[in-house]
Amino acid sequence: MNRDILVYGAYGHTGRFVVAELLRRGLTPVLSGRNAAALKELSGRHPGLDVRVAEVGDAQALTAAVRGVAAVVNCAGPFLDTGLALATTAVAAGAHYLDVTAEQPAVRQVYRAQDEHAWRTDVAVVPAMAFYGGLPDLLATAAAGDWDSVDEVVVAIGIDRWWPTEGTRETGRRNTATRLVVEDGRLVPVPETAAVRDWEFPSPLGSRTVIGNPFSEVITLARHLNASAVHTYLATAALDDLRDAGTPAPSAVDETGRSAQRFAIEVVVRRGTAERRASAAGQDIYAVTAPLVAEAVERLLDGRAGIRGAAAPGETFDAGDFLAALSPEHLTLNRWPAP
Ligand SMILES: NC(=O)c1ccc[n+]([C@@H]2O[C@H](COP(=O)([O-])OP(=O)(O)OC[C@H]3O[C@@H](n4cnc5c(N)ncnc54)[C@H](OP(=O)(O)O)[C@@H]3O)[C@@H](O)[C@H]2O)c1
C-alpha cells in the first residue's frame, strides 16, 4: 500500500505535529512547503524523508510535489490562499486531500469546486479535519446518531487559554468574511450582536462564559446534517487572548511539544424535546489536530471511509468509531456514548 503522505506547510507549528504523528503511525510524510531552508531544517530532524519545495501559485511545482503520494495533508494557512490550489492538484493526481482549516470560506470554496467542476469521487476531499471544524462535526454526527433530521445543533468550545500561532493570527487578518450560522436550514450571517451565555463544561474546565463565534464546523455540518439551526459558542476568555496582540505563541510543556492549554468541546443536538449530547476534552488544540487528521488519513488508506469527493468528516467516517479510536490517548470522551 502506498503510505506516502505529502504534508504541505510541514515546517509550521501544526505541520510539525502532523509529521510526527504520521511517523508514529508508520506512514511516510513527504515534507513540502514554499520555504526550502525551513524544509531542510525539518528534514534534518527526520533524516530520510523526501523534501519537495513548491509555491502554491506554481501549478507545475505543485503537480510535481503531489506526484505519487496517496494523500495530501495541507497545514498551510490561511487556507483561503492555499486550499483550493492544493485540493485541485491533489484530486487531479488521484490523491486524497485533507486540510485543517477553521476558515468557513475556505471550506465553502472547496465544496463549491467539487459541485461546479464535478471532481472525481474516487478520492476523498476533507477540509477542516481539525480541532475546529472536524472535531465538533464528528461529535455532532455521533450525537445525532440515527436521527435523519435535527432541529438544532449547539457547539460549545471551551478553552482555558489561547496562545495563538502566527498562522492563526495571519488567518484572522486574512479571513474578513462575515461568519455564518444555520437558521431555518440555510446558511445566514451571524447576528450582529453575538449571544453570550454561561456553559457548564466537563471537568477540568467547569463553568465558562461563551460567546457566539462560529468556525468551519458550521459549513461542514450544513453539508451533511439535516439541521434547522447550527450555532457555535467559544469561551470569551479564549477570544480575549486571541484579540490581545500581546498574547504569546504556544510554548511546549511536554516532550511531545504540547502547550498547557486545556480544551473541552460539547455538542448538544436537539429534536423536538429530545436532546443528545457528546463531548470531548484534551490538551492543546494545535497538537490534537495531528491525531485527528492522521486518523482520517489512515482510515482513507485502509478503506474505513465512505469516499465521495468533497465531504464533511462526519459523512466520510464512522464518527463514533473514529472518536473512540482517539480515546483515551488524545481525547477524553465525556457524556459518551451519546444517550
Ligand atoms: N481548524 C483548526 O482547529 C486548526 C488547528 C491548527 C491550525 N489551524 C490553522 O492552520 C494554519 C496553520 O497554523 P499553524 O499554527 O501551523 O501556523 P504557523 O506555525 O504560523 O504555520 C503556518 C504555515 O503555513 C504556511 N503558509 C502560510 N501561507 C502560505 C502560502 N500562501 N503558501 C505556502 N505556505 C503558506 C507557512 O509557511 P511560511 O512560513 O513559508 O509562510 C507555515 O508553514 C492556520 O490557518 C491555523 O488557523 C487550524
pLDDT in tens, 122-154: 999 999 999 999 999 999 999 999 999 999 999
CATH class of the 4-130+290-316 domain in this structure: alpha beta
Give residues with Cβ within 8 angstroms of 158, minimum separation 6: 199, 201, 205, 208, 210, 235, 263, 264, 265, 266
* Percent of the chain at pLDDT exceeding 70: 99
**22 φ, ψ to 5°?**
-65, -45
Q: Tell the residue nearest (CA) to atom 5 of ligand 1.
A: 286
Q: With a 6 A CB cut-off, is 105 part of the ligand 1 pocket? A: no
The predicted structure's pLDDT at residue 204: 85
Contact between 130 and 102 under an 8 Å Cβ cutoff? The reply is yes
Q: With a 6 A CB cut-off, is 9 part of the ligand 1 pocket? A: yes
Q: With a 6 A CB cut-off, is 16 part of the ligand 1 pocket? A: no
Residues 77 and 330: their CA atoms lie apart, in Å, by: 23
Contact between 281 and 264 under an 8 Å Cβ cutoff? The reply is yes
Q: What's the DSSP call for residue 84?
A: H
Q: With a 6 A CB cut-off, is 78 part of the ligand 1 pocket? A: yes
The predicted structure's pLDDT at residue 336: 60
Question: What's the CA-to-centroid distance between 74 and ligand 1, angstroms?
Answer: 9
Residue boundaries of the structural domains of the chain: 4-130+290-316, 134-284+323-334
Question: What's the CA-to-centroid distance between 337 and ligand 1, angstroms?
Answer: 33
Q: b/e for 26-39, b at 16 or more Cβ within 10 A?
A: ebebbbbbbeeebb
Longest dimension (CA), the chain: 57
CATH architecture of 134-284+323-334: 2-Layer Sandwich (3.30)
Residues 141 and 135: their CA atoms lie apart, in Å, by: 10
Q: How many other CB atoms are there within 10 angstroms of residue 112's CB atom? A: 13
The predicted structure's pLDDT at residue 299: 98
Q: With a 6 A CB cut-off, is 130 part of the ligand 1 pocket? A: yes
Q: In the chain, which residues have pLDDT < 50?
A: 338-339
| Angle between helix 13-24 and 285-302 (nearest 10) | 40
Closest CA to 242 of 129, 135, 159: 159
- The per-residue DSSP string of 172-206 comes to HHH--SPPEEEETTEEEEPPSS--EEEEEPSTTT-
Q: Which H/E stretch holds residue 273?
A: none
Q: With a 6 A CB cut-off, is 167 part of the ligand 1 pocket? A: yes
Look-up: residue for cell 451519546? 338
Residues 134 and 323: their CA atoms lie apart, in Å, by: 11
Question: What's the CA-to-centroid distance between 10 and ligand 1, angstroms?
Answer: 9
Question: What's the CA-to-centroid distance between 224 and ligand 1, angstroms?
Answer: 27
The predicted structure's pLDDT at residue 337: 56
Say whether 135 sits in a helix, a strand or coil.
helix
Q: Are domains 4-130+290-316 and 134-284+323-334 of this chain identical in fold?
A: no
Residues 322 and 319: their CA atoms lie apart, in Å, by: 5
Q: Tell the residue nearest (CA) to atom 25 of ligand 1.
A: 76
The predicted structure's pLDDT at residue 335: 66
Q: What is the pTM of this model?
A: 0.98
The predicted structure's pLDDT at residue 339: 45
Question: What's the CA-to-centroid distance between 23 and ligand 1, angstroms?
Answer: 20
Residues 193-239 have pLDDT tens digits of: 999 999 999 888 999 999 999 999 999 999 999 999 999 999 999 99
